[in-house]
Amino acid sequence: MGAVPKRKISRHRRGNRRQHLALTAPVLVKCPRCSKPMRAHYACKACGTYKGRQVLKISQPE
């Protein structure tokens, strides 16, 4: 016979084990060039810049 738990795991103990599994919202910062919200350490999707350089070609700048 395989491994079978002796006792039921309580909701509190189960929840404590799963504390680190919660999802978090991405951190948004203001783009220094176009002032639109963007993810930190990512290229801006609105203007295509990263660290002051143009890294993405944007066809329709907003």
Return the domain boundaries, the chain: 27-57
**What is the predicted pLDDT for the residue at 54?**
93
Rounded Cα gap, residues 51 and 7, in angstroms:
55
Q: Tell me, what's the pLDDT at 59?
A: 83
Tens-binned pLDDT, residue by residue, of the chain (62 aa)? 789 999 999 999 999 999 999 999 999 999 999 999 999 999 999 999 999 999 999 887 55
Kindly give the pairing relationship between strand 28-30 and strand 53-54. Answer: unpaired
Choose among 60, 20, 55, 25: nearest CA to 40: 25
Residues 6 or more apart in contact with residue 60 via CB below 8 angstroms: none
Strand 28-30 vs strand 37-39: parallel, antiparallel, or unpaired? antiparallel
pLDDT of amino acid 29: 96
Report the pLDDT value the prediction gives residue 38, as an integer from 0 to 100. Answer: 96
